[in-house]
């Protein structure tokens, strides 16, 4: 999975017209960003507290459609020492209304990664586009019996009786989120390794709870030999650089989510470390620059 040999990984016949995985070395730790595909979402969900004219202007300036967006969906594989860690699992294949996503398992195989080699799964949170891949038909039987799934204890507790009172999701998303989270807990409860505030999953791989997006939403910090990368999950969206105070309809505590977003972007602008996030355009590897009270996303130069 290393940058040096990524071009040789995969199986004949699995070539694609556009890249779907991207390797990034962080010191001695290997990071592979995988595209699970794209999800269509109504554009207003991106900024539920924004003036409609301001949102329309932002979408126009970003060359994005005004009504329905293709929302990127990225997951990450981290290899540190003897551990292979899957960070989130994508949507899965049980959703026929979303035929352009649910590709994680296929793309793991194309990258030469057998699901049985995954020692740990880290969940930033338990929305369906982060846990659904683990519910894909036939996958559970291929996972190792000693697999450990790391998730914030507050997250698992929340989904026992979730509160959607502050969200602004289109129907029937809330009911689907409840159903998928319940199914996930039913099938994987014995694999869960809950943590309170933070937990070192492997040398140089730290998961930290931020809250906001969901009560147990977490980010993953990777650090080795002075190099750093943060996988921010759903703490940062594309619109959040220019308008960090705009609230996303999928946020269960939108005001806290905005505070989390601003603090994280300020920190990343100060450190200069790499950022990857679930819903930034693939491969999403970028740096954050401060621009007054807002921020700029500076895409990293692709490493060939």
Q: Which residues of the chain have pLDDT under 70?
A: 1-17, 304
> Per-residue pLDDT tens for 17-56?
677 899 999 999 999 999 999 999 999 999 999 999 999 9
Q: How far apart are CA 147 and CA 115, in angstroms?
A: 10
Q: What is the 3-state secondary structure (H, E, C) of the chain?
A: CCCCCHHHCCCCCCCCCCCCEEEEEECCEEEEEEEEEEEEEEHHHHCCCCCHHHHHHHHHHCCCCCCEEEEEEEEEEEEECCEEEEECCCCCCCCCCCCCCCCHHHHHHHCCCCHHHCCEEECCCCCHHHHHHHHCCCCHHHCCCCCEEEEEHHHHHHCCCCCCCCCCCCCCHHHHHHHHHHHHHHHHHHHEEEECCEEEEECCEEEEECCCCCCCCEEEEEEECCEEEEECCCCCCHHHCCCCCCCCCCCCCHHHHHHHHHHHHHHHHHHCCEEECCCCCCCCCEEEEEECCEEEEEECCCCC
Q: Is the dihedral of CA 235, 240, 243, 248 positive or negative?
A: negative
Residues whose CB falls within 8 Å of the CB of residue 121, separated by 6 or more in sequence, listed in order: 85, 86, 87, 89, 134, 147, 148, 149, 150, 191
The verdict on domain 6-299 having CATH code 3.60.15.10 is yes
Report if pTM > 0.85: yes
Q: How far apart are CA 77 and CA 121, in angstroms?
A: 9
Q: How far apart are CA 54 and CA 57, in angstroms?
A: 5
24 preceded by a cis bond (ω within 30 of 0): no
Q: How far apart are CA 216 and CA 195, in angstroms?
A: 10
**Looking at residue 6, what is its pLDDT?**
41
Residues whose CB falls within 8 Å of the CB of residue 5, separated by 6 or more in sequence, listed in order: none
């Amino acid at each position: 999975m290393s940058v040096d040999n990524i071009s040789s990984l995969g199986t004949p016949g699995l070539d694609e017209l556009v890249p779907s995985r991207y390797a990034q070395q962080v010191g001695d730790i290997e990071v592979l960003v995988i595209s699970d595909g794209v999800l269509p979402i109504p554009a207003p969900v991106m900024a539920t507290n924004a003036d409609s004219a301001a949102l329309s202007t932002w979408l126009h300036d970003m060359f994005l459609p005004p009504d329905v967006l293709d929302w990127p969906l990225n997951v990450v594989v981290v290899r540190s020492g003897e551990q292979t860690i899957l960070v989130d699992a994508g949507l899965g294949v049980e959703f026929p209304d979303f035929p352009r996503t649910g590709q994680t398992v296929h793309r793991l195989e194309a990258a030469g990664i057998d699901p049985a080699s995954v020692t740990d799964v880290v969940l930033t949170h338990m929305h369906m586009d982060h846990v659904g891949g683990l519910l894909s038909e036939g996958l559970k039987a291929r996972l190792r019996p000693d697999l450990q799934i790391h998730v914030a204890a507050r997250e698992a507790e929340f989904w026992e009786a979730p509160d959607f009172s502050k969200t602004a999701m289109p129907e029937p998303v809330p009911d689907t989120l409840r159903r998928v989270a319940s199914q996930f807990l039913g099938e994987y409860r014995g694999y869960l390794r809950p943590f309170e505030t933070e937990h070192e999953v492997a040398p140089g791989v730290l998961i930290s709870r931020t809250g906001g997006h969901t009560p147990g939403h977490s980010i993953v910090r990777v650090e080795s030999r002075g190099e750093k990368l943060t996988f921010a999950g759903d703490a940062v969206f594309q619109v959040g650089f220019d308008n960090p105070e705009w609230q996303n309809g999928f946020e269960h505590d939108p005001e806290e989510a905005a505070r989390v977003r601003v603090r994280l972007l300020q920190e990343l602008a100060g450190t200069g470390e790499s950022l990857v996030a679930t819903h930034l355009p693939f491969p999403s590897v970028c740096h954050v620059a401060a621009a007054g009270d807002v921020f700029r996303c500076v895409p990293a130069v692709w490493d060939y």
